[in-house]
Structure 1
């Protein structure tokens, strides 16, 4: 069962590993990112942030979609983490049953505007978010479970 589908440019770190997993009772984390899945060094770094007793799987976007669609993850209370809104869109387009997306951290860069605390997006990413909202995905901004939940609506983009 998917407990959280999250965009966070830091991928796996303390907020996700401990705050979210404890709050949701999660027992598995799927990091879906093409670059990380092809880098032994980045995978090793992410493995260091994994809480003891937590299952961690690191896959590219397409392989993550295949695993999610296969039913292999159904027995787990799963947190899915992607690095960007584009990765979230790719996964969302391939996986049926994703109902909500948490925007937890998207770093400030050139040509981005702030949507919420620690969430900065480009014009292109705003368009992607609008499309996902139109298709029925609920999108929230929230760094940690105790934060006030801010639901995005197209008109605010």
Structure 2
């Protein structure tokens, strides 16, 4: 069961690994990221950030979608983290059961507009998010579970 689907360019770090997994009762974190799935150093860093007793799986976007669709993840309380709005859209397109996305950190880059303290979006990313919202997917801005959730519109 998917407990939370989050976009965060940092993927897995203290805030995500500990606050969110504990709050949502996750027992497995799926990092869905093409670069992380092929970069041994990044994989090692992500493994160091995982909470004790929580399973960590790092897969490409395509392999993540296949795993979720196959049902192999059904036995877990799953926390999915991906690094970009574009990757989140690919996952949402393929997994229609996803009805909400947590917007975490999206880094500042040239051409972005700041929409929240830690969220900077390019115009094409805003278009993607509006498309997801139009499909009925809730887009919640919430850095940590104790913070009040704001709905992105």
Indicate the TM-score class for this superposition, using the shorter chain for normalisation. over 0.9
Match of 1:21 in 2: 21
Contact kept? 1:69, 1:96, Cα under 8 Å? no
Q: For residue 117 of structure 1, report the CA deviation from its aligned partner.
A: 1.5
Runs of 4+ in 1 over 3 A off after TM superposition: none
Gaps spanning 5+ residues in structure 2: where? Answer: none
- 1: CA distance, partners of 2:126 / 2:14: 27
Match of 1:60 in 2: 60
Match of 2:134 in 1: 134
Match of 1:88 in 2: 88
Instruction: For residue 67 of structure 2, give the secondary structure of its aligned residue in structure 1.
Output: helix
- 1: CA distance, partners of 2:31 / 2:64: 8
Gaps spanning 5+ residues in structure 1: where? Answer: none
Output the TM-score relative to the length of structure 2.
Answer: 0.98
Q: For residue 96 of structure 1, report the CA deviation from its aligned partner.
A: 2.3
CA RMSD of aligned residues (A): 0.7
Instruction: For residue 12 of structure 2, give the secondary structure of its aligned residue in structure 1.
Output: coil
Equivalent pairs, count: 153
Match of 1:35 in 2: 35
Output the TM-score relative to the length of structure 1.
Answer: 0.95
